[in-house]
Amino acid sequence: MKEIVLLGHVLFGVSCLLATVWLFVDVLNAHEGNLARVRWLSRAAAVFFWLGFLAGGYWYVVDYKADKEVILKGPWPFAHNYFMETKEHFVITLLLLATYLPIAASNNLALNKEARRLVLCVAALVAVLALMAEGHGAIISMGVKVALLAKPH
């Protein structure tokens, strides 16, 4: 079950990232015809991120302790000491950004150039931080793997 929760966390994170990149491109070419899709994408990105955050948060609070002990005894303690410690905190800022995205996208982006730039800025920040979170998560997972492989058989 915990593996499914963790996979769900990654799946929703990637879905948020894809929705945000799609949104970014649509906003670059904002016109009356794609405003509805822009708004739906912004909401989808926010929902995906919340689902990923809740899944990851649940796993972190309930299941991560065992992985943490393995990582700290292995050759990559930085996988927890740096990458998990930073990830668990910057994703809170990412949560705020993802929540704000549909609020910013509710403006008429076809007519308002400044509002368009705001959405592009927020979307770009979401995409970059989401990619960073994926990378951090990969290193954390690898920290568990290298620790288990380093154990004598």
Interacting residue ranges for another protein, rule: CB under 8 A: 57, 60-61, 81-82, 85-86, 88-90, 92-93, 95-97, 99-100, 103-104, 112, 114-115, 117-118, 121-122, 125, 129
Q: Which residues, 6+ apart, have CB-to-CB distance to 16 below 8 Å?
A: 45, 48, 49, 52, 98, 126, 130
Q: How many Å apart are CA 153 and CA 134, to the nearest integer?
A: 31
Taking the complex as a whole, how short is the minimal distance between the CB of residue 96 and another protein, in angstroms?
Answer: 5
Nearer to another protein, 116 or 148 (CB): 116
Taking the complex as a whole, how short is the minimal distance between the CB of residue 152 and another protein, in angstroms?
Answer: 31
Q: How many Å apart are CA 88 and CA 34, to the nearest integer?
A: 35
Q: How many Å apart are CA 103 and CA 111, to the nearest integer?
A: 17
Taking the complex as a whole, how short is the minimal distance between the CB of residue 32 and another protein, in angstroms?
Answer: 20
Taking the complex as a whole, how short is the minimal distance between the CB of residue 63 and another protein, in angstroms?
Answer: 13
Q: Helix or strand or coil: residue 21?
A: helix
Nearer to another protein, 88 or 134 (CB): 88
